[in-house]
Amino acid sequence: MAGSAVAVILLASLLVGQVGRGLVSARTDAALVTAQSGITKVTDGINLVHPASTDSPVLDEKLQALARQLSDAGQVGNQYRILLVRADGSGTTYATEGVATSDIPSVLDKELDGAPLAYTYEHDPDRLVIGGVVNTSLGEFRLFQFFPLSSEQSTLSLVRRTTIIVGGLLVLLLPLLVFLVLRQVVQPVRDAARTAERLALGDLEERMDVRGEDEIARLAASFNSMAAALQKQIRQLEDLSRVQRRFVADVTHELRTPITTVRMAADVLHEARTDFPLAAARSAELLQTELGRFELMLSELLEISRYDAGDAQVDAEPTDLVALTHRVVDAVRPLAVRKGSELVVHGDGPVVADLDHVRIERVLRNLVVNAIEHGEGHPVEIRVAGDSTAVAVTVRDLGVGLKPGEDRLVFTRFWRGDPSRARNTGGTGLGLAIAHEDTRVHGGRLDARGRPGQGAVFRMTLPRSVGGELDGSPLPLDPVRTRA
> Residues interacting with ligand ADP, by CB under 6 A?
366, 370-371, 374, 397, 399-402, 410, 415-418, 422, 427-433, 456
- Cβ pair 156, 19 in contact under 8 A: yes
User: Applying CB under 5 A, what is the total number of residues that bind Mg ion?
Assistant: 3
Nearest to 328 by CA among 303, 349, 358: 358
Nearer to Mg ion, 38 or 427 (CB): 427
Distance of CA 278 to the CA centre of its chain: 77
199 vs 434 by CB, closer to ligand ADP: 434
Q: Name the segment binding Mg ion (CB under 5 A); options: 327-335, 344-352, 375-383, 419-427.
A: 419-427
In the complex, least distance from residue 282 CB atom to Mg ion, rounded to whole angstroms: 27
Q: How many CA atoms lie within 13 A of 264 on its CB side?
A: 5
* Site membership for Mg ion, residue 439 (CB under 5 A): no
Q: How far is the CB of 214 from ligand ADP (least distance, A)?
A: 57
370 binds Mg ion (CB under 5 A): yes
Q: Which does 143 bind (CB under 5 to 8 A by kind): ligand ADP, Mg ion, none?
A: none
422's contact among Mg ion, ligand ADP, none, with CB below 5 to 8 A by partner kind, is: ligand ADP
400's contact among ligand ADP, Mg ion, none, with CB below 5 to 8 A by partner kind, is ligand ADP
As measured in angstroms, the least distance from the Cβ of 323 to Mg ion is 23
Which segment (219-227, 375-383, 424-432, 451-459) binds Mg ion by CB under 5 A? 424-432
Nearer to ligand ADP, 325 or 428 (CB): 428
Q: Are 212 and 184 in contact (CB under 8 A)?
A: no
Minimum distance between the CB of residue 249 and ligand ADP, rounded to whole angstroms?
Answer: 20
Adjacent-strand bridge partners of 319:
353
Name the residue nearer to ligand ADP (CB basis): 17 or 419. 419
Among Mg ion, ligand ADP, none, the one that 7 touches (CB under a kind-dependent 5 to 8 A) is none
- What's the CA gap between 87 and 90, in Å, rounded? 8
Give the shortest CB-460-to-Mg ion separation in angstroms: 14
The contacts of residue 426 (CB under 8 Å, 6+ apart) are 292, 293, 296
Q: Which is nearer to ligand ADP, 148 or 401 (CB)?
A: 401
Contacted entry of Mg ion, ligand ADP, none for residue 254, CB cut-off 5 to 8 Å set by kind: none
- Answer whether 373's CB lies under 8 Å from 348's CB: no
Q: How far is the CB of 435 from Mg ion (least distance, A)?
A: 8
If one asks whether residue 431 binds Mg ion (CB under 5 A), the answer comes out as: yes
Shortest distance, position 306 Cβ to ligand ADP, whole Å: 17
Residue sitting closest to Mg ion (CB): 431
Q: How far is the CB of 448 from Mg ion (least distance, A)?
A: 12
When the beta carbons of 147 and 411 are compared against Mg ion, the nearer one is 411
Minimum distance, C-beta of residue 187 to Mg ion, in the bound complex (Å): 56
- Cβ 459 to ligand ADP shortest distance, Å: 12
**Taking CB under 5 A as the rule, does residue 428 contact Mg ion?**
no
Q: Shortest approach of ligand ADP to residue 416 CB, angstroms?
A: 3
Q: Which partner from the list Mg ion, ligand ADP, none does 456 bind, CB cut-off 5 to 8 Å by kind?
A: ligand ADP
Nearer to ligand ADP, 63 or 304 (CB): 304
Binding range to Mg ion, per CB under 5 A, among 20-28, 370-378, 398-406, 472-480: 370-378
Tell me how far apart the alpha carbons of residues 154 and 20 are, in angstroms, rounded to a whole number. Answer: 11
Would you say 85 or 371 has its CB closer to ligand ADP?
371
Give the relative orientation of helices 215-271 and 150-200 as an angle to the nearest 10 degrees.
20
CA–CA dist 222, 228 (Å, integer): 10
Stretch that binds Mg ion, among 392-400, 425-433, 443-451, 457-465 (CB under 5 A): 425-433
Interface ranges with Mg ion (CB under 5 A): 370, 427, 431
